[in-house]
């Protein structure tokens, strides 16, 4: 049994608290919001973000970061990506040398183009930072529905430690050394999910969705490899796996925001209606900058940015995608 501090009491932090406590670990949760702390301590449920998932009474929540970081075998950082850096900054004084922090959020910082583990390492250089991601919607993990996920770390020992902590009969954990590829796949798929939602909102069908997923992973793979990820990662759970679930599921806030935009709402209206942080919107500009930095063609990301930030009509964006220059499907295909 491990002592675990869970930083962030949104949907994902709560689902992981459920999964980890079911595994027999002792969990303490930090939230920035007093009402969330009260809800967890009194009702043992995050009624707003993950209703229906009941946490054991042993799970305690606190707004005091020092209390939650102190004497823990590992910390899980689960706040939405726009708050990762600021939260890591606040945690830094309470982190001992070599403390393991598992980053479970998904995003890229727009100005620095840094992934989340890179931001955490910059704020807390003395920590050992690992990542955990894959096709894992909180709504399903909080009900014990089987899924698979990947633990990424620089060294195999840390990855295996994280694997052992999280692994259960409904939560199968693989290991990987490719933190960069995992984080890029996880962040960039949110941008493609917005496009998949727009296609749904426009009333397009399964063919369009399949085309977006397939061409989307090609785009993500090109950018990911150029930025330092390994090709196999983008064919795995944190690449194509996460992309499929986020483009197909109604649990995806990015897809839901895209649907509203496709139906004629402005991006601002869509984000307000979804009432959650739509990370794909934050990651879209970073994704475009990343593609430009490595001179990678990224037509889906370009069109998502044009719709989000330049008032381009979604139907026009789809038409421009369809009528791009004629191409061979993959550059390494052999005609002989």
Ligand X SMILES: NC(=O)c1ccc[n+]([C@@H]2O[C@H](COP(=O)([O-])OP(=O)(O)OC[C@H]3O[C@@H](n4cnc5c(N)ncnc54)[C@H](O)[C@@H]3O)[C@@H](O)[C@H]2O)c1
Cα–Cα distance, 274 to 118 (Å, whole number): 29
* Shortest Å distance, C-beta 107 to ligand X: 6
DSSP class of 269 = H
Cα–Cα distance, 300 to 192 (Å, whole number): 7
Bridge partners, 133 (sequence order): 150
* Shortest Å distance, C-beta 116 to ligand X: 8
CB-nearest residue to ligand X: 10
Binding mask 21-50 for ligand X (x = CB under 6 A): ----------xxx--x------------x-
**Active-site residue (options: 49, 180, 189, 285):** 189
* Shortest Å distance, C-beta 23 to ligand X: 17
Residues 65-94 that bind ligand X (CB under 6 A): 78-81, 83, 87
* Strands of the chain, DSSP E: 3-7, 26-30, 60-62, 74-77, 100-103, 128-133, 147-152, 171-176
* Shortest Å distance, C-beta 223 to ligand X: 18
284 binds ligand X, rule: CB under 6 A: no
Residues 119-138 that bind ligand X (CB under 6 A): 136-138
Q: Mark the segment that binds ligand X (CB under 6 A) among 10-18, 122-130, 256-264, 308-316.
A: 10-18
Three-state secondary structure string covering 123-150: HCCCCEEEEEECCCCHHHHCCCCCEEEE
Active-site residue, 180 included: no
Classify residue 289 as exposed, middle or buried by CB count within 10 Å of its CB (0-12, 13-18, 19+): middle
Residue number, 48 or 226, with CB nearest to ligand X: 48
241 binds ligand X, rule: CB under 6 A: no
Residue number, 46 or 128, with CB nearest to ligand X: 46
11 binds ligand X, rule: CB under 6 A: yes
- 293 Cβ partners below 8 Å, 6+ apart? 113
230 binds ligand X, rule: CB under 6 A: no
276 binds ligand X, rule: CB under 6 A: yes
163 binds ligand X, rule: CB under 6 A: no
* Shortest Å distance, C-beta 201 to ligand X: 21
- Of the candidates 106, 121, 209, 256, which one interacts with ligand X according to CB under 6 A? 106
Cα–Cα distance, 293 to 287 (Å, whole number): 10
Cα–Cα distance, 37 to 49 (Å, whole number): 13
Q: Which two tokens stand for residue 182?
A: 């995992």
* Shortest Å distance, C-beta 310 to ligand X: 25
Please tell me the count of residues contacting ligand X according to CB under 6 A.
27
Cα–Cα distance, 68 to 242 (Å, whole number): 30
Cα–Cα distance, 280 to 192 (Å, whole number): 8
Cα–Cα distance, 9 to 45 (Å, whole number): 10
Query: Which residues are the active-site residues?
Result: 189
Q: List interacting residues with ligand X (CB under 6 A).
A: 8-13, 31-33, 36, 49, 78-81, 83, 87, 104-107, 136-138, 276-277, 279
């Amino acid at each position: 049994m491990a002592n675990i501090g869970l930083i962030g009491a949104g949907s994902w932090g709560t689902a992981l608290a459920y999964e980890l406590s079911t595994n027999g670990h002792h969990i303490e949760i930090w939230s920035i919001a007093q009402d969330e702390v009260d809800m967890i301590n009194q009702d043992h449920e995050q009624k707003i973000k993950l209703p229906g998932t009941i946490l054991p009474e042993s799970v305690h929540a606190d707004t005091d970061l020092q209390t939650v970081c102190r004497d823990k075998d590992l910390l899980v950082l689960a706040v939405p990506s726009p708050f990762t850096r600021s939260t890591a900054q606040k945690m830094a004084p309470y982190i001992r040398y070599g403390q393991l922090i598992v980053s479970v959020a998904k995003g890229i910082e727009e100005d620095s183009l840094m992934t989340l583990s890179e931001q955490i390492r910059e704020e807390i250089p003395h920590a050992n930072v690992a990542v955990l991601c894959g096709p894992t919607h909180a709504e399903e993990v909080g009900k014990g529905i089987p899924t698979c996920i990947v633990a990424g770390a620089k060294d195999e020992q840390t990855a295996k430690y994280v694997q052992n902590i999280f692994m259960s009969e409904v939560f199968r954990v693989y290991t990987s050394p490719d933190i960069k590829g995992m984080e890029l796949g996880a962040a960039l798929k949110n941008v493609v999910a917005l496009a998949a939602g727009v296609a749904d909102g426009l009333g397009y069908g399964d063919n369009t969705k399949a085309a977006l997923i397939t061409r989307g992973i090609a785009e993500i793979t090109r950018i990911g490899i150029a930025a330092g990820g390994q090709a196999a990662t983008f064919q795995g759970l944190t690449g194509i796996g996460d992309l499929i679930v986020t483009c197909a599921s109604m649990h995806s806030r990015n897809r839901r925001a895209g649907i509203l935009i496709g139906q004629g709402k402005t991006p601002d209206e869509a984000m307000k209606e979804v009432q959650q942080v739509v990370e794909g919107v934050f990651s879209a500009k970073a994704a475009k900058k990343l593609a430009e930095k490595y001179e990678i063609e990224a037509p889906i990301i370009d069109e998502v940015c044009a719709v989000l930030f330049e008032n381009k009509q979604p139907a026009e964006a789809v038409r421009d995608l369809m009528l791009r220059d004629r191409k061979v499907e993959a550059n390494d295909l052999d005609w002989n």
